[in-house]
Amino acid sequence: MTQVAANNVSLSWYEASARQRIDALVDAGSFCEYIGPELREISPHLSIFDLPEQFDDGIVIGHGRLDGTPVLIAAQEGRFMGGAFGEVHGAKLTGLLRAARALRQDVLILFDTGGVRLQEANAGELAIAEIMRAVIELRRAGLSVVGLIGGRAGCYGGGSLIAGTCSRLIVSEQGRISVSGPEVIETNRGIEEFDSRDRALVWRTMGGKHRYLIGGADTFVDDEALAFRQAAIDALKIKRGCDTNVLEAEQNRLERRLQRFGEAEDAVDIWQTLGIDAPTEIPALPTDAFLRAAKRRENADDAR
């Protein structure tokens, strides 16, 4: 008989470290780390660049219980190298996902990443591909992979591709999801197209509220560990496989969405088209008011 006890201390998800997030997310005392820092599985590449290493290579993996149910968890540390994927970092997540299939357990991925490390580009990109494959194989076996996004580094590059393969995504206002980051867009397309210093624009384009409204995320929560925990518990109750039907539904959803909103110049135009009252007020709304206003959002419930 397992003891189920939630951590009831308030914690800002955005401010928290990877380990603090895991601690706050799972049932008290239920987390057991795999390949912990004492094993010193560090990056074999960073020392070539004379860069500091971290004992866990910036990702914490292990198992725990969520409201009594066993789950596997991975949490990226967004402050170490921007949470970016490297060889060991990536391998830990790949291995966790493959273990999940063998153990027949769901997985929670706490994303906080700028993408792939430049210093470990090849290994990092390979890892992204392996991880995406592992996620799909896990889902085809009938299990869930739930992504939680709300940290300082956001969820960019290869991380956002992985997020795109997850069964459900939970996002807070601080979270951002995009393949290309603001500076990259500005460099490639010019400041007229995208001013990366216009932070309100960045958040309208790739931030948590917009992603929720446009069907890029399934649940929107406060920047609060308990809110993420409850959302994860709820998300895991939804079972969805990953067969050709699901993929076709997702493809159709994306095509429809592109058709409907492709001409929009700014997220506010999209929100307007969605039929939201006072779309320009959306960024300033507190969570409950936002969720009420967001009733007309795009969702991916019959797809993904």
Find the binder of another protein among 45, 209, 229, 253 (CB under 8 A): 209
Tell me which of 47, 122, 188, 245 binds another protein, using CB under 8 A.
Answer: 47
Do residues 81 and 42 touch, judged by C-beta distance below 8 A? no
* 53 lies in the binding site for another protein (CB under 8 A): yes
Under rule CB under 8 A, which residues in 252-291 are in contact with another protein?
283-284, 286
Q: How many residues bind another protein (CB under 8 A)?
A: 32
| CA dist., res. 92 & res. 77, Å (int) | 13
CB of 176 to another protein, least distance (A): 9
Q: Which amino acid, one-letter code, is at 51?
A: L
- Distances in Å between the Cα of 59 and the Cα atoms of 90, 111, 113, 154 are 9, 10, 10, 15
Terminal Cα-to-Cα distance of the chain (whole angstroms)? 35
Nearer to another protein, 210 or 253 (CB): 210
N residues, the chain: 304
Beta strands in the chain (DSSP E): 32-34, 59-66, 69-76, 106-111, 145-149, 155-156, 168-172, 177-178, 219-221
Binding mask 67-96 for another protein (x = CB under 8 A): ----------x-xx----------------
What's the CA gap between 58 and 43, in Å, rounded? Answer: 10
Could you tell me the smallest distance in angstroms from the CB atom of residue 249 to another protein?
A: 32
| Site for another protein, residues 169 to 208, rule: CB under 8 A | 173-174, 197-200, 203, 207
Contacting residues toward another protein, per CB under 8 A: 12, 14-15, 17, 19, 28-29, 36-38, 47, 50-55, 77, 79-80, 173-174, 197-200, 203, 207, 209, 283-284, 286
